[in-house]
Amino acid sequence: GPENMLSAVQSKAREMGIAAHVLCPSLNDIEASAVAATMAGIARNVETNLLPFQPPSVLLMGGELTVSTGGAKGIGGRCQEFALSVAPWIRGSDAIVAASVDSDGTDGPTDVAGGIVDGQSFDRASGLGMNVFHELDRHNSHEVLTKLDDTIYTGALGQNLRSLYMVMIDQV
């Protein structure tokens, strides 16, 4: 399950001198945008107050989050929605990067595994004429991340260990 994937990420982070904290190994059926806001809030606290962890740190979660689209017709998936949902919360940060990937290599109805954002992603999207809040309301994360060239492509991997959600806080 996701525990193996999280262990691998923790080992790689340790090799790089980064403390890796698994906040929840298998979080399921919660809105991706809510988890993104929560993890971004914790990351901002690490960046600003050095609590509850010291940077450099990476916050990790595994599982299957949800995206309730209502009648929205945008294109994306839980991992891309998570990544883009972090962008407004970390806007202007030089220390925080967030990424999420689906372990089978396909997120939602797309051929990408997920996406990655940093503190400049929100303003870069605005500069390209995209309103991040409007696109999130439409659940159209794939279009925004594609235009930013911030999708993560692995190809189909033929296994599903659920998804990986990461927020990295570097030292400033």
For residues 36 and 27, what is the distance between their CA atoms, to the nearest angstrom? 12
- What is the pTM (predicted TM-score) of this model? 0.96
Do the beta carbons of residue 21 and residue 147 sit within 8 Å?
Answer: no
In this structure, the number of other CB atoms found within 10 A of the CB of residue 71 comes to 4
Mean pLDDT of 141-167: 93
Q: Which amino acid is at 89?
A: W
Which tens digit of pLDDT belongs to each residue from 12-36?
999 999 999 999 999 999 999 999 9
77-97 pLDDT tens trace: 999 999 999 999 999 999 999
Instruction: Give me the percent of the chain exceeding a pLDDT of 90.
Output: 88
3-state SS, residue 168: strand
Residue 157 has pLDDT above 90, yes or no: no
Tokens standing for residue 8: 């691998």
3-class SS at 166?
Answer: strand
